[in-house]
Amino acid sequence: MKSFVSAFLSGFGFLTTIPVGITMEGIENLMKHIYFFPVVGALLGIIIGTVGYGSSFAFHPLIVSFIIIVSIYYFTGFNHLDGLADFGDGIAAHGTREKKVSAMRDTSIGTGGLLLCILAVTGLFSTLFAIIEAGFFFLPYVLVVAETSAKQAMVTVAAFGKSIHKGFGAMTLDNTKFSDFIIGLVFSGAVSYLLLGIYGIAALIISQIGGLIVLNTANRNFGGASGDVVGASNETGRIFSLLAFGGISWMLL
């Protein structure tokens, strides 16, 4: 029981900026229970959804979209966005796989990384605005499903990817089992269906496709995955989920 609690709390310390405390022992426990990722995502979604829902009573949809994006990165930090930036630099680099991996590991940001980050934030803003403007009244539920799906996308990539170098990313990739993927997917599917029915399931599936696209791109360019790739799948999974809801909201008009 103690290891479960330690893993759960470390999940918050690992995936969020919430100061719950984090230790190496906790990280090791988390690596044995990777399926906690979407659980953390669901609770994060509740927090972000509450912020979005509350602000929607006082502000224009444009401002609400901005507030939600600020809350996302306030509570999740910039680690995953930084992973997306590094991923973009890697795939934009020319030359051998070794050069691409070197570009991905470079601490400075290049054109490819900057472009992907701009696209990610713009995509978040435009999809959120479309959902709110279209009168999609289940905004808090949408945000819970999106954040749960994003964390499940990380589990999906970690379960099917292979690590290319050492680090926290390698710990995640090397320790994630197929059973973690199944448990996480069942939990994510239950949350998505209970909140938004078949639309929630559709958004979850589309988000996982986004994660697999990231993994396939990484395999082609780097010969495997890394922590940056896992982080990039979080950002991609969230956007793909929201894109699905953006399309659904307009169809229901």
Mean pLDDT of 21-45: 83
The model's pLDDT over 170-224, given as tens digits with 9 standing for 90+, comes to 778 888 899 999 999 999 999 999 999 999 999 999 999 999 999 999 999 999 8
Residue 170 neighbours by CB under 8 Å, 6+ apart: 163, 226, 227
Q: pLDDT digit string (tens) for 68-90?
A: 999 999 999 888 888 899 999 98
The per-residue pLDDT for 3 is: 64
* Whole-structure pTM value: 0.91
pLDDT on residue 136: 63
Q: For residues 199 and 252, is the Cβ–Cβ distance under 8 A?
A: no
- Domain segments of the chain: what residues? 1-33, 34-251
Selected residue with higher pLDDT from 23 and 16: 16
Average pLDDT of the residues in 151-176: 85
Structure tokens at 235: 């950002």
Task: Indicate the burial class of 245 (C-beta count within 10 angstroms; 0-12, 13-18, 19 or more).
Answer: buried
